[in-house]
Structure 1
């Protein structure tokens, strides 16, 4: 159509890509530098060319109180996957954007031992990572709880029988065509059966739900001798198994909803984790009179696993889960806790607010003086946790001179905040704090630190979905640095 047009060669495209990457990285550096606090997620993925890549994403709340995120890098990981090596590469990603230690709040990762060791190594470097917290992915933790519950003998055998039944229809074109015909005859919705995947527990729930929905067309196909061989008719589930399959799917349904809510990037998810888990235990996992013994045992196992893996019954008042819940307007009254423990959580929020208020100007002074000595270490490491009687004195004491100098204390802000009944009708971001941050400046500063932490590591896993399109079979020879640039641009361009 345009004979005079010269198609750019490989070098031209590569140079244009590098220039765009450098320009966008500069913009992101400026945005990150203007943020109050950041959290990170990380994970490791293997491409079709059998090269390992480690993705690092950062999450923060903007000055307009909107949740935002960027992918920092997706770099080749050629070393052994030890916690020390992961910590080193994660540190390099944060250092490349000159993210100071006092802004590094948390690292969200899966439950692998090397990832847990990684955060332990980061805690040993307060000069780089301050008081960073390691947070296990809630989605992965919930999956471990459910996998344990599904190992119960009767449920395990029912799921295996359902899997074999679905597999029969997946392998037989004749049975699939007959199923479609039976659906029309019985006026059942035309849905295909779903085969579960071992690494996705929610697919097991979807498989059982779909099978129960299509029970009578499936039974009709299996009982038709002209379609199904005599030996395959035994694939049909027994009446007890059909009932158990339905009950199991009903128990797992709310857990799927919880996982989806915690995985949505636009939600304040970490602050909702513990309140939702307590609500789940109370409303959906409490035994009912008409529950079968297998379902009762399943619910009991789920409750035990959730309590154990999240340590719900022994959460410390200074837990990042409880602190973030206290600063989420939806859950600030902490109704799932006893009154005494609530007060301790509020005390910890006040202590953290005063500490951050005192230290937020120190980094600016250090940047002007170029000093990185004892003051920087003091800013990075919070004071040791106060004893019970010391905390009580903190809440009871009231230094008039200090309050006159610094305005309302964090204690007074907390008292007013708990009495505040102002509501904002919105499902996204944190509009309540956007409208009320001027009234509670110290608490708002803490909120930006704690509410930016996602509950799951799915943001870094979603990067690998993009990476799968970039590093495909026809582009398996891409250099690792070009893979990093392409994914960086693909994810971040629409966010800047």
Structure 2
């Protein structure tokens, strides 16, 4: 037995050790030279005599035998379960106790990490990264990070369900919903169809990415129609007696899909895509194409050569020119051609000076700067394409109505394409190419009528300056008819033939003193007006209002005037939520490219949908 002075420090056994012998035994504690505490769990120490007894995990035979031989008065068989001992932790040790996975704090941190993964497009494997684990341990040492499988199978699905529920509630309260859709192919060569919804709530334009579903079949119009109808049904978007307008690109299969899908329509061709096609025809003309070829060679040279790029920086500083990098165009987007030419013109002095540098000149092959005539053509093309560039940027917004601008902008662009006496032959050809392409767009009479009504219901364009008086009147009449059909009773029938027998005349009613005195001067409103008359007067009164400034926010105007024009306001919500472009769906592509990256190309399609959904819709 150990002497009093040799008594070791004893660590109590864990609470999970239930045998009664543990009332009399513990584990010895030793301290290293640097003061670090070590608990030896290969032996136990008898609290009665301080004797060390060998111990193997889960086996209490040695301790029971020790009690029987040396301490027979102690009955270790009395209690089958060791009573729970209360142990008050010191303040430092309390902070070292790990957080229970069921505690509120642990759940809050885990949910926050799920938000971080979804919102910042992080891979699930980030929870295994050493630097990330170090950060979490520094912020909360007691928190144990769950596995990546826990996030992918539990946390992200829970966040998805929570966010989806909120959006479903908003969509259920929206009387009118419009869609945009487009398809794309991931890095893993899997095809997806993205659908976005747009609606007006409290006179604010709201939008949500509904789903990004895989397309396993060929992209025929019937398969696309089925996929769209599945989204409409899944999200409960059907509205009685109202079709859902859909904005898509101008691909034939997508146009036909909207026509085939019951309850969808009209199909609105993406105006940005239309402008892209028109501008491409202009820049594909021979003289312009040759000009762009020379610019591309110069830009590619400075992108590939680090020596040339450094020389360009030196010349930019020397000539006091903005230190901007040259822009290379993307074949599928004409606006990058505009940006490339604009940046080239800005940097032209620095480019010329850098190419003439003796250290650069010897490496320059088949590269020539633009001649004076080509520089002039480039400047003229920039001026020609500027309205199209501005229009594309303007229509790409998701926070303001855009469909109402389509026909007014088309009219303004066509007007800017009228030939001028000072135009060069190349510019005249470019203007003709753009005009010819734009004039063939939105020519369907029903679609034109729909777009004109959208413009009329926007207080910025309700005067319809792009139409003559007769067409303006037709648009007003169409709006009146639509309000009556949707919101009230049918148009009142005209009076029957006058040959019917007249009812007998009633005796004149005796007038009161008040009636005799005031007569018709203060007559009460005529309560016999039909709903048709009320709507017609409301629409014509709205038409007579002054248009607001084009920089004003039309939905703010409607919020102030809804009580004055309640029937027109309801129809305005239906039209002004429709997008002029499919850009909201196309924006998902870049997000999806970050999610389905090279390191995560095998991500399951279900996870792709949930991660895109959360990144676009979750509010933090």
The normalised TM-score by structure 2 is 0.68
Supply the distance in 2 between the matched residues of 1:452 and 1:231 (Cα, whole angstroms). Answer: 54
Change in Cα spacing, 1:350 to 1:73, as seen in structure 2 (3 Å) is: same
Change in Cα spacing, 1:10 to 1:216, as seen in structure 2 (3 Å) is: closer
> Is the deviation greater in 418-427 or in 406-415?
418-427
| Cα distance per residue 1:232-289 (max 9 Å; x no partner) | 375122221111111111211221110011011112101011112212232x323333
Using the TM superposition, give the Cα deviation of residue 408 of structure 1 relative to its aligned residue in structure 2, in angstroms: 5.2
Residues 52-63 of structure 1 aligned to structure 2 (within 5 Å): 52-62=191-201
Change in Cα spacing, 1:3 to 1:184, as seen in structure 2 (3 Å) is: closer
> Is the deviation greater in 23-32 or in 454-463?
23-32
- Partners of 1:266 and 1:429 within 8 A in 2: no
Which residue, out of 211, 217, 220, partners 1:73?
Answer: 211
Supply the distance in 2 between the matched residues of 1:271 and 1:117 (Cα, whole angstroms). Answer: 24
Q: What is the DSSP-based 3-state SS (H/G/I as helix, E as strand, rest coil) of the residue aligned with 2:211?
A: strand
- List gaps (5 residues or longer) in structure 1: 360-382, 384-393
Supply the distance in 1 between the matched residues of 2:195 and 2:329 (Cα, whole angstroms). Answer: 30
* Residue of structure 1 in register with 2:590 after alignment: 465
* Residue of structure 2 in register with 1:375 after alignment: none
Change in Cα spacing, 1:397 to 1:145, as seen in structure 2 (3 Å) is: farther
Q: What is the DSSP-based 3-state SS (H/G/I as helix, E as strand, rest coil) of the residue aligned with 2:546?
A: coil
- Partners of 1:350 and 1:411 within 8 A in 2: yes
Q: What is the DSSP-based 3-state SS (H/G/I as helix, E as strand, rest coil) of the residue aligned with 1:430?
A: helix
Moved over 6 A (4+): 394-403
Supply the distance in 2 between the matched residues of 1:178 and 1:48 (Cα, whole angstroms). Answer: 36
Change in Cα spacing, 1:145 to 1:317, as seen in structure 2 (3 Å) is: closer
Larger radius of gyration: 2
* Residue of structure 2 in register with 1:108 after alignment: 247
Supply the distance in 2 between the matched residues of 1:466 and 1:86 (Cα, whole angstroms). Answer: 22
- List gaps (5 residues or longer) in structure 2: 1-136, 497-524
Which residue, out of 282, 286, 295, partners 1:162?
Answer: 295
* Residue of structure 2 in register with 1:352 after alignment: 482
Which residue, out of 125, 133, 137, partners 2:266?
Answer: 133
Using the TM superposition, give the Cα deviation of residue 174 of structure 1 relative to its aligned residue in structure 2, in angstroms: 2.3
Which residue, out of 454, 468, 492, partners 1:324?
Answer: 454
Change in Cα spacing, 1:243 to 1:324, as seen in structure 2 (3 Å) is: same
Residues 75-474 of structure 1 aligned to structure 2 (within 5 Å): 75-102=213-240, 103-122=242-261, 125=262, 129=263, 132-229=265-362, 232=365, 235-282=368-415, 284-311=416-443, 315=445, 319-358=449-488, 404=529, 406=531, 409-421=534-546, 423=548, 427-428=552-553, 430-474=555-599
- Partners of 1:424 and 1:431 within 8 A in 2: no
The normalised TM-score by structure 1 is 0.85
Larger helix fraction of residues: 1
- Partners of 1:107 and 1:133 within 8 A in 2: yes
Supply the distance in 1 between the matched residues of 2:417 and 2:586 (Cα, whole angstroms). Answer: 29
* Residue of structure 1 in register with 2:95 after alignment: none
> Is the deviation greater in 106-115 or in 426-435?
426-435
Using the TM superposition, give the Cα deviation of residue 447 of structure 1 relative to its aligned residue in structure 2, in angstroms: 0.8
Q: What is the DSSP-based 3-state SS (H/G/I as helix, E as strand, rest coil) of the residue aligned with 1:409?
A: helix
Change in Cα spacing, 1:259 to 1:161, as seen in structure 2 (3 Å) is: same
Alpha-carbon RMSD: 2.7
Change in Cα spacing, 1:17 to 1:179, as seen in structure 2 (3 Å) is: closer
Q: What is the DSSP-based 3-state SS (H/G/I as helix, E as strand, rest coil) of the residue aligned with 2:180?
A: strand
| Cα distance per residue 1:359-380 (max 9 Å; x no partner) | 8xxxxxxxxxxxxxxxxxxxxx
Using the TM superposition, give the Cα deviation of residue 397 of structure 1 relative to its aligned residue in structure 2, in angstroms: 7.0
| Cα distance per residue 1:23-53 (max 9 Å; x no partner) | 3222222211111111101111211222111
* Residue of structure 2 in register with 1:475 after alignment: 600
Supply the distance in 1 between the matched residues of 2:527 and 2:572 (Cα, whole angstroms). Answer: 23
Q: What is the DSSP-based 3-state SS (H/G/I as helix, E as strand, rest coil) of the residue aligned with 2:618?
A: helix
Using the TM superposition, give the Cα deviation of residue 452 of structure 1 relative to its aligned residue in structure 2, in angstroms: 0.7
Q: What is the DSSP-based 3-state SS (H/G/I as helix, E as strand, rest coil) of the residue aligned with 1:56?
A: strand
Select the structure with the greater relative contact order (CA < 8 A; seq sep ≥ 6).
1
- Partners of 2:177 and 2:244 within 8 A in 1: yes
- Partners of 2:272 and 2:395 within 8 A in 1: yes
* Residue of structure 2 in register with 1:35 after alignment: 174
